[in-house]
């Protein structure tokens, strides 16, 4: 499934070049949760080292990284990272980071997509885990950047999650 996400990210429906900050939550949902976004010219591939320092520190050392500066936004990035199977629970991370994301609107878009509704009185940083334990989606900050991110679990971590929470799962 994760390899399909990477392939789909690079080959399917298009996101307009020159995306605006208001479009970033939709780009995140399309690319990271649905695996169906491709960036057009104006969104340039860049190295992992160009991500904001605080975000890079949180992300650690991926085995492979694909990062794009999102067209039209000087400080907006889409990243897709793969991690080596070293006992780490997370095997893939996909996210959007920007200085200009409307965090409330972004959290609403992610919450609607992963929870099916938008709930009142939510904290600025929030995290959702899908019922199957495949991923955790979050809206948070890293330094001066707001981050929308999904952490895809390894098969082993997903099985462990299901064993641990089996009594609470549908």
Domain ranges of the chain: 2-168
Question: Does the structure show a pLDDT above 80 at 13?
Answer: no
Give the model's pLDDT for residue 170. Answer: 60
Nearest to 82 by CA among 1, 147, 6: 6
pLDDT of 3: 46
Residue 67 has pLDDT above 90, yes or no: yes
Across 79-107, average pLDDT: 86
Taking only the tens place, the pLDDT of each residue in 107-166 is 888 888 777 888 776 666 778 877 777 888 888 888 899 999 999 988 888 888 778 777
Average pLDDT estimate for 27-52: 82
DSSP 3-state of 97: strand
Residue ranges with strand state E in 4-144: 14-15, 38-39, 44-46, 64-69, 76-82, 90-98, 126-129, 135-142
Q: How far is CA 1 from CA 7, 24, 54, 113, 145, in A?
A: 10, 24, 29, 19, 29
pLDDT at 97 over 60: yes
38 compared with 17, residue with greater pLDDT: 38
Cα-based distances in Å from 40 to 12, 90, 126, 131, 132: 11, 29, 30, 33, 33
**Which band of pLDDT confidence, cut at 50, 70 and 90, is reported for residue 169?**
low
pLDDT surpassing 70 at residue 73: no
Model pLDDT, residue 132: 76
- Using alpha carbons, select from 37, 46, 3 the residue that is nearest to residue 148: 37
Of residues 8 and 81, the one with the higher pLDDT is: 81
Tell whether the model's pLDDT for residue 38 goes beyond 80: no
**Across residues 33-54, what is the average pLDDT?**
82
Q: Is the dihedral of CA 112, 118, 124, 126 positive or negative?
A: negative
Computed over every residue of the chain, the mean pLDDT equals 78
Judge whether 35 and 4 are in contact, CB under 8 Å.
yes
Distance in Å from the first CA to the final CA of the chain = 22
Q: For position 14, what pLDDT does the model report? A: 42
Identify the H or E element spanning 102. Answer: none
């Amino acid at each position: 499934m994760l390899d399909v996400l990477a392939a789909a990210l690079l080959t399917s429906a298009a996101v307009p070049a020159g995306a605006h900050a208001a479009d970033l939550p939709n780009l995140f949902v399309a690319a990271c949760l649905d695996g169906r976004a491709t960036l057009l010219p104006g969104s340039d591939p860049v190295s992992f080292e160009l991500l904001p320092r605080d975000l890079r520190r949180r992300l650690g050392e991926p085995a492979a990284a694909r990062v794009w500066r999102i067209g039209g936004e000087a400080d907006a990035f889409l990243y897709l990272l793969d991690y080596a199977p070293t006992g780490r629970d997370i095997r893939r991370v996909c996210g959007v980071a920007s200085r200009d994301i409307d965090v409330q609107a972004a959290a609403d878009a992610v919450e609607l997509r992963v929870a099916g509704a938008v709930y009142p009185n939510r904290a600025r940083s929030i995290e959702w885990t899908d019922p199957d334990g495949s991923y955790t989606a979050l809206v948070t900050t890293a330094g001066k950047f707001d981050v929308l991110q999904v952490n895809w679990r390894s098969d082993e971590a997903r099985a462990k999650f299901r064993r641990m929470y089996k009594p609470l799962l549908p």
